[in-house]
Structure 1
Amino acid sequence: MLEIRGLRAGYGKVEILRGIDLDVGKGEIVAVLGSNGVGKSTLNNNISGLYRPFSGSIRFKGDELAGQSSTEIVKRGVIHVPEGRRIFPNMSIRENLELGSFVRGTARRKQNIERVVGIFPRLKERFGQMAGTLSGGEQQMLAIGRGMMSEPELLIMDEPSLGLSPLLVDEMFALIGRLNTEGQSILLMEQNAVQTLAIAHRAYIIENGHVAMKGNAADMLRDPDLRKNYLGL
């Protein structure tokens, strides 16, 4: 579905990504791992059209995304759940979800809300509550639910476990696995390497703006050199 070749990107004159090649196939969870500052969010922002790459190609189902507006990219089914949730705190849960279908999925808004609250029953219990009063875990559920309202063909998730308690982290990874078993293709950016590799099909490790390692996620999790040098285990 997604083919990235030779992607160089950054901010102003500062280059963060220095020639990234990456693929996501239909029905896969593909993980991108790396510490803070290696370029995971920069990669997401360029795929989503929030920034334009310096050079390289980002193709989705054969069509070039680089240079397209973020609205056009959403229309194509590439949906980004950003780091830090970025919900609308002074709007209700329902209003946040409805905004998720503003560009894509409008015709099936009611059905999609029913699907989201089926996945996240805690949201249904608080439908009229202001989003800013939710706990961190509930806000993350809302952010993912808002993304699901756009009927994503590819769902990009940026650090979904960030700031959650250990119990909620387990719930979050279980949810990501469940979405994938229902057919959702996912590009997952995370620092939580062990739990990410446990659910992913393939993974890339970014270091200093380059892909330092890639391969089958289960094999990478078992690799003793990888565990020592990149996972700190």
Structure 2
Amino acid sequence: MSTAPLLEIIGLRGGYGRVEVLRGVDLQVLPGETVALLGSNGAGKSTLNNVVCGIYKAWAGKVAFDGADLSGAHYTDVVKAGLIQVPEGRKIFPNLSVMENLALGSFTRARERRAENIDKVFATFPRLKERTLQLAGTMSGGEQQMLAIGRGMMAEPRLLILDEPSLGLSPLLVEEMFGLIRQLRSTGLAVMLVEQNVGQSLEIADRAYVMENGGIRFSGAPADLLRSDDLRRAYLGL
């Protein structure tokens, strides 16, 4: 695994209107690494994702991806670079079919390899292949989450940010979802897993960050986080 960061965030600040949400965030993801970003609702996790991905503008700080400065870049340029987010709440197109949703995933990047990448998605998610013509809005929550991840894979991500992928799923589907994330991890894909499901996330992460009030309160190995009684109680509810 390379020691040069694939994603490097330095002193990132941002928010909405006049309300500052991110207060100087520093974070790294290495190539092939799975990083868990943990924290309660309102900690700033989704805001961080949206600033990193160019959906919202940073107020200050730097976002670098594979050495290129993406601070202030338009979100389409972020996608073209291979930094792909699977957003919280899935954000699939309910009135479009599974196949149409997947095709939209390659609209900006890897369009010329769309057919090949659809085959790869179906190999990862056989259930989607059985439902190619089904309207996405009629699928179960677990199937919709598979579709959202599959749509992200269509853009040939170099780093895949998964924002709360287990949100709203039954315990059985949560197990299945984390199994699929392990599968993605095994391919060497870099993953940033943004989750409230602490136990499952720490089982598969190489490193972990804990956010609180828009800042990073811990970074390090999952084992070190779990060994600290104070951190477990204060930030993870364990």
Cα distance in 2, alignment partners of residues 103 and 70 from structure 1 = 10
Equivalent position SS for 1:15: strand
Please name the residue that 1:29 is paired with. 34
Residue 3 (structure 2) aligns with = none
Instruction: Write the distance in 1 (CA, Å) between the matches of 2:224 and 2:112.
Output: 42
Q: Does the CA-based 8 Å contact 1:194-1:221 persist in structure 2?
A: no
> Residue 152 of structure 1 aligns to which amino acid in structure 2?
P
SS in 2 for 1:186: strand
Structure 1 gap ranges (5+): none
1:11 aligns with 2:16: yes
- Partner in structure 1 of residue 58 of structure 2: 53
Listed as ranges, the matches of 1:54-203 within 5 Å are 54-203=59-208
TM-superposed CA distance for 1:105, in Å, is 1.1
Contact 2:209 2:216 in 1 (8 A): yes
- Match for residue 7 of structure 2 among 2, 9, 24: 2
SS state at 1:180 partner: helix
Helix, strand or coil at the partner of 1:151: coil
Q: Secondary structure at the match of 2:25?
A: strand
Letter in 1 for 2:34: I
How many Å apart are 1:223 and its aligned residue? Answer: 3.0
Distance in 2, matches of 1:22 and 1:66, equals 14
**CA–CA distance in structure 2, aligned partners of residues 223 and 167 of structure 1:** 29
Letter in 2 for 1:192: N
Could you tell me whether the CA contact under 8 Å between 1:201 and 1:218 is conserved in 2?
no
Q: Would you say the 8 A contact 2:39–2:236 is kept in 1?
A: no
Q: Which moved more, 1:167-176 or 1:220-229?
A: 220-229
The TM-score normalised by the length of structure 2 is 0.96
Measured in 2, the distance between the counterparts of 1:85 and 1:218 equals 30
Select 1:229's aligned residue among 218, 224, 234.
234
**Structure 2 gaps, min length 5:** 1-5
Larger deviation: 166-175 or 220-229?
A: 220-229
Q: Which amino acid aligns with 1:108?
A: R
| Partner Cα separation in structure 2 for residue 211 and residue 219 of structure 1 | 15
Per-residue CA distance 1:3-56 (angstroms, 9 max, x = gap): 100001101110001000000000001111000111100000011100111100
Cα deviation, residue 229, structure 1:
2.2
SS in 1 for 2:63: strand
What's the Cα RMSD here?
0.8
Deviation at residue 111 of structure 1 after TM alignment: 1.0
Asked whether the 8 Å contact 1:34–1:190 carries over to 2, the reply is yes
Shift of 1:174: 1.1
The sequence identity of aligned pairs, in percent, is 62
Q: Read off the aligned partner of 1:74 and give its amino acid letter.
A: V
Aligned length: 233
- Partner of 1:230, secondary structure, is helix
SS of 1:18's equivalent? strand
